Amino acid sequence: MATAAAAADHHYTTTGLNSRKMLFWTFLGSECMFFGSLISTYLVYKNHSTTGPYPHEVLNIPLTSISAFVLLMSSLTMVLALAGVQRDRIGQAKLWLAATAFLGMIFIGNQVYEFHHFVTSEGLTLQKNLFGASFFVLTGFHGAHVTVGVIWLLSLLIMAFSGKLSSKNSLDVEIAGLYWHFVDIVWIGIFTLIYLIQ
Give the binding site for another protein (CB under 8 A).
Answer: 1-4, 6-10, 13-15, 17, 19, 22-23, 26-27, 29-31, 33-34, 36-38, 41, 44-45, 48-50, 126-127, 129-130, 132-134, 137, 141
Residue type, position 138, single letter: L
**Residue number with CB closer to another protein (35 or 191):** 35
CB of 89 to another protein, least distance (A): 24
**Residue number with CB closer to another protein (132 or 143):** 132
**Residue number with CB closer to another protein (61 or 151):** 151
**Residue number with CB closer to another protein (36 or 123):** 36
Q: Which residues in 118-146 are b (16+ Cβ under 10 Å) and which e?
A: beeeeebeeebbbbbbbbbebbeebbebb
CB of 132 to another protein, least distance (A): 8
**Residue number with CB closer to another protein (73 or 172):** 172
Could you give the 3-state DSSP secondary structure of residue 2? coil
* Terminal CA-CA length for the chain: 55
CB of 179 to another protein, least distance (A): 14
CB 72 within 8 A of CB 180: no
Closest CA to 190 of 54, 48, 41: 41
CB of 54 to another protein, least distance (A): 13
CA distance linking residue 198 with residue 196, whole number of Å:
6
Residue type, position 110, single letter: N
CB of 198 to another protein, least distance (A): 18
CA distance linking residue 62 with residue 56, whole number of Å:
13
CA distance linking residue 121 with residue 142, whole number of Å:
23
